Chains A and B, each alone.
Chain A
Amino acid sequence: MRGPDSDPQGQDTAGALMAVDATLAGDPVDPQYAELAELALILREERPRTSDAFTARLDAQVQRRFARPAPAVRGTGLRRWLGGSLAGLAAAAAGVAVVLVLAGGHGGGSSSSSSAAEGTVVSSASASAAPSAGAAAGKPLLSITPAIREAKRPTGAAAATATSSSSSAAASAPGSVIPSPVIPGTRQVVQSAQLVLGVAPKRIDDVSQQVFNVVGQEKGYVNSSNVTSGGGDGGASFQLSVPSANLAATLTSLSQLRGAHVMSRSDNTNDITGQVGGAGQKLAEARALRRSLLKQLADATTTEQVDSIQARLHDANASIASDLSTLRGLQRQVAYSTINVRIQSAAAPLPVSQHHSSGFTIGTAAHDAGRVLVVVAGVALIVLAAMVPVALVGALLAWVIFAVRRRRRDQALDLV
């Protein structure tokens, strides 16, 4: 290069250029520039002119607005390749970002709370007699066999002893619910359930009180309870007994406590028809023995006979009391279902579980919308982060290509 920028324009140069411009404009010039002016005029006259054919052809192309595809020029293929590559990289980056966001959403945070928040209900039926479990759930669950009915009509001292022992056992249950009449032939099923509720730490006391209220409404009672509040890891646990007929309603009420959400739930059933029958049979045999002993006692004539029969009668009464207690225990298990409720501190459930539990509301819609926006923003951020280096590399590549092409074009003038 000649470096014209470093060569300041002298007076002669400026004068000559002004003379050239004046000549081209048709103005007179200084005689010292006459030769230059003549050269300028000749050069203008020597200007190549378009042919009519070319002019018509080019005019037609312009009027068609260059409808035909452009002729292939060098660099077009490279540009297309670069464009395709960048578009492919952008698409790949977007895909990776989406995968990362989705993976992060499921894997991050507390997996237990998120899975529990979906309201998964685990039902595990351990009943040995499955066919009868469903029927037992909707019917009076307690039945009394003929043997038990006989036992409910005690006579004499043994009957008094048996009644005393059973009432003392029943006294532990507030309300002492009288078992429903026994329906012969029905299955005896013991039901129980476990419920884990997640609540905010500050609402543990409130939710615990709601548990007590529900139990009272459903005519049940609390076997045991343990409530720990205050601090970040408070919790509570309850062992409840409710009439089996109210089990479903109780679980429903407990699942819908204000400020709590179900983290897990399991239902268990156990058929004890055989045990009840066995206990009843044993009780009937003991009663038959007692009746026989009472007859023998009435017929006894000697002191030794009376003493011996009374001793055996005492054993028979004890056996009857024991069998009656066992039978009433089984009877109570059938009549009352046990619910173990555990309340633990947990984060708020995901919107998905809210939808299942409380339906679609404006609040959940707003929450969903916010969540969607957060996810979209996260995806956009990751895509941006992935695209920045790609864009930098692309810009550098484009700059290099531009510089090289410009240099080559500049060198093309030296080839001529």
Chain B
Amino acid sequence: MRVVIETQAQPKSAGRRPTQNSWERFELLYRSSRDDIFAYVTTLLNDRAAAEDITALAFERAYRRRKTFDRRRGEERAWLFGIARNAALDELRRRKRVASLTVDPEDVSEPADDAGPEVALRRTAVRAALTELPARDREVIALKFHAGLRNTELAKVLGVSETAAGTLLYRAMEKLRKACDART
């Protein structure tokens, strides 16, 4: 999501220093992607504590490898999500177990649900259905709605074409919608 980087971070330094060093670029990337990475990893792992560790590990790896980043192979944000995805998949493989959480742990920063009981019920159903989705579908939804990736970036992270990424996203939403309907 280059737009995000440019619209949020670029104005701060564009007028002062046209060329940024690797640390400044990494810091901008961190500021713009920290919450998105965490949200994506949390949804994928269904484990907030592990997600925090993996998020930190992903940024540390990105920092170590920041000089090897090749812009011709994609945007920095997609590159960062690729690192986070590999770290999360390694964590899944290491644990050798299926994520057992069926509901999202309580989020202290979650906003109060003051839109009414129907909306609250609907949100609860979506939350529960999401945790029961297969990991592949949950990952696509997490990348799209929790990390805020565009379809092109999503395709890059998953290693598929943009059309295929759109198809995967559509199918995942259909599964989620049916799961929600079944719950309500």
Contact = CB atoms under 8 A, between A and B. Distances in A.
Interface of A: 2, 4-5, 7-9, 13-14, 16-17, 20-21, 24, 35-36, 38-40, 42-52, 54-55, 57-58, 61-62, 65-66, 70-71, 73-75, 408-416
Nearest to B176: A39
Interface of B: 23, 27, 30, 34-35, 38-39, 42-43, 46, 48, 51-52, 55-57, 59-61, 63-64, 86-87, 89-90, 92-94, 96-99, 104, 107-111, 122-123, 126-127, 130, 134-136, 138-139, 141, 144-146, 151, 160-161, 163-171, 173, 176-177, 180
B107 A73 contact: no
A39 B126 contact: yes
A58 B59 contact: yes
B56 to A, nearest CB: 6
B84 to A, nearest CB: 12
Nearest to A66: B60
A415 to B, nearest CB: 6
A50 B33 CA distance: 12
Contacts of A54: 38, 52, 55
B8 to A, nearest CB: 16
A48 B39 contact: yes
B163 A409 contact: no
A50 B109 contact: yes
Contact of B39 (A9, A49, A62, A412): A49
* B contact face: mostly helix, strand, loop, or mixed: helix
Contacts of A61: 56, 59-60
A48 B64 CA distance: 26
10 contacts: A4-B163, A5-B160, A13-B170, A14-B166, A16-B173, A42-B122, A43-B176, A50-B52, A62-B30, A409-B89
Contacts of B167: 4, 7, 9, 13
A352 to B, nearest CB: 48
A65 B96 CA distance: 31
Contacts of B170: 9, 13, 16-17
A310 B117 CA distance: 168
Q: Which of A4, A54, A414 is most buried by chain B, counting CB atoms within 10 A of its CB?
A: A4
Given A46-B146, A48-B39, A409-B89, 7 more contacts: A4-B165, A17-B170, A43-B126, A47-B39, A409-B90, A414-B134, A414-B135
